[in-house]
Structure 1
Amino acid sequence: MVGSGKAPDEKWRDERRARDRRGRRAEWLAALALRLHGYRILAKREKSPLGEIDLIAVRGHRVAFVEVKQRATLEAAEAAITPAQRARIRRAASLWLSRNPAFQAHDLGFDIVFLVGWRWPQHLENAL
């Protein structure tokens, strides 16, 4: 039997690193697309005890909490956003706002950026 010569845990780590690289690339492209549409990125991969927010951006008087999904198809990307994930992002956003009072009076948006294939990122406002 011919194998790759790697132990199962090593293969798992390699796959995990590859997923992490793809996720960072997707978030970078999403941030670029948002910047080109006039947003200023306030935070990337904002982590809290309540959850993680991929991007936090502001444009004018609107703060957007953005979830980034990269999948092979739009249907797969849409299916990857679960009700539990939506609730977790909203809780994390609430905590972030409590820690950043300068933005509490802003309009809030819970947005999604889909990256599908080689297409330009698709930004959907208030989709979460």
Structure 2
Amino acid sequence: MNRQQAERSGRDGETRAALWLRAKGWQILDRRIKTPAGEIDLVAKRGRLIAFVEVKWLKKREELDYAIDQTRLTRVAAATEAVAHRYAQEGEDIRVDVILLAPGAFPRHIANAWQP
């Protein structure tokens, strides 16, 4: 897959994840936040909880179990620390979530995926 196709596929996955989160009662606050530490795909809010979401879109559902690793989660967590103050107000909780997507598979939402 070339870079442009990968970019389109990633954006498509993020759009699907955002729609799924909205259906679950989340408000999408932002998309594709770039920081020196890394990128955050989605920032979502539900109640007093702000989730910084890593989205993985894969071609095969069999690959979903291996889609995310500690290195990627550590980068997302570092990026979250850099920008959390922009989104979370005092008293609100923050966490890093992951949404895994593949054709023919129900979205897999891993809440609080990063544990330091």
Same fold (TM over 0.5): yes
- Structure 1 residue runs without a partner (length 5+): 1-13
1:102-123 alpha-carbon deviations (Å, 9 max, x no partner): 5353112211111122233222
The whole-number CA distance in structure 1 between the counterparts of 2:93 and 2:42 is 16
SS of 2:29's equivalent in the other structure is: strand
Aligned to 1:48: 35
Identity %: 37
Within the alignment, does 1:107 sit opposite 2:67 as a pair? no
The whole-number CA distance in structure 1 between the counterparts of 2:98 and 2:10 is 14
The whole-number CA distance in structure 1 between the counterparts of 2:113 and 2:27 is 19
Aligned to 2:8: 21
Are the aligned partners of 1:53 and 1:67 in contact in 2 as well (CA < 8 Å)? yes
Q: List 4+ stretches of structure 1 deviating above 6 A.
A: none
Larger radius of gyration: 1
1:32-89 alpha-carbon deviations (Å, 9 max, x no partner): 0001111111111111111101111000000001111112125x23323121111111
Structure with more contact order per residue of length (Cα contacts < 8 Å, sep ≥ 6): 2
The two structures have a TM-score, normalised by structure 2, of 0.87
- Structure 2 residue runs without a partner (length 5+): none
May I ask how many residue pairs the two structures share in their alignment?
113
The two structures have a TM-score, normalised by structure 1, of 0.79
Higher helix proportion: 1
